[in-house]
Structure 1
Amino acid sequence: MSDTPPEMRSVVVERDLAHPPGRIWRALTQPHLMAEWLMQTDFEPVLGCSFSFQAEWGAVNGQVTEIEPERRLAYSWGDGVLDTVVTWTITPTSEGARLRMEQTGFRKDQPRYLVGATAGWPRFFDNLEQLLARESA
């Protein structure tokens, strides 16, 4: 069950990846790798760190709110109107790891943001899988 209030909505994407948790963690936390699959950023994997993501469509600001290396990472994700939280969970499996991303906090009056996230995160995951495949080759 989600802790998201009923007036809020969330987007969840989950995939099994044939890569070890450490490699996935690097891709989630190293700015030069994040730029390859997500967006340009000045992210640092440090609790409380403020950062931004830059893309051709605009910018998103964030702050690291939770960090447990190779297991869990959470940060705020907003643009002045949108105020959400993105949480990454890495669970080891016999084949590699299961990666789960949940973006919570979309208000009912923000359908454009929810539709954008619902369409965008699977594409980001595709980019991440391509990066991981290149990094392990």
Structure 2
Amino acid sequence: MSDAATQTRSVVIEREIAHPPEKIWRALTQPHLIEEWLMKNDFSPIARHQFNLRREPMPGVNVVIDCEVLAVEPHKTLSYSWAAYGLDSVVTWTLTPIPAGTLLRMEQAGFRPDQTQAFHGARAGWREFLTALDAVLARTD
């Protein structure tokens, strides 16, 4: 197999957010807040914890994403596997304090060359999720 056939792509989004890392961390790790900006879940910020993200985009259609927490460094790094529809990827959140608040970096890595539709869907989807995250941060303490 050639190198080109084994290379994967990543969706990376970076945003400066005018909130401290601790506040963003809560929104990334507390199930009731995750549900507000991402999906229903049974998340727990404990390494090796297996959880699902679930939503019903249309009546009778369920989306279930199987995940496992890979790394947790409170207020700094959160990483989990993301498996659905033949996509096996890893989502990593990195929080870096900056004078204006936090530099939030989200990377979803592991899109194979034949997963162009999933890659483009994730790029659009994460932008929407992060807009929703902004709204959650704006109204929570």
TM normalised by structure 2 equals: 0.90
Match of 1:84? 89
Q: Does 1:33 align with 2:45?
A: no
Match of 1:126? 131
Q: Distance in 1 between matches of 2:105 and 2:55?
A: 23
**SS of corresponding position for 2:99:** coil
**Cα shift at 1:112:** 1.5
Match of 1:47? 47
Q: Distance in 1 between matches of 2:46 and 2:136?
A: 23
**SS of corresponding position for 1:103:** strand
* Deviations, residues 75-105 of structure 1 (Å, cap 9, x unaligned): 0001151100000000001111010000000
Q: How does 1:1-137 map to 2 (within 5 A)?
A: 7-57=7-57, 58-79=63-84, 81-136=86-141
The number of residue pairs the alignment matches comes to 132
Identity %: 50
TM normalised by structure 1 equals: 0.93
**Cα shift at 1:7:** 1.6
Gaps of 5+ in 2: 58-62
Q: Distance in 2 between matches of 1:132 and 1:80?
A: 30
Gaps of 5+ in 1: none
Greater C-alpha Rg: 2
Aligned amino acid, residue 111 of structure 1: T
**SS of corresponding position for 1:24:** helix
Q: Distance in 2 between matches of 1:17 and 1:52?
A: 27
Q: Distance in 2 between matches of 1:27 and 1:122?
A: 16
2:9–2:110 CA contact under 8 A, matched in 1: yes
**SS of corresponding position for 2:135:** helix
| RMSD across aligned positions (CA) | 1.3
2:6–2:112 CA contact under 8 A, matched in 1: no
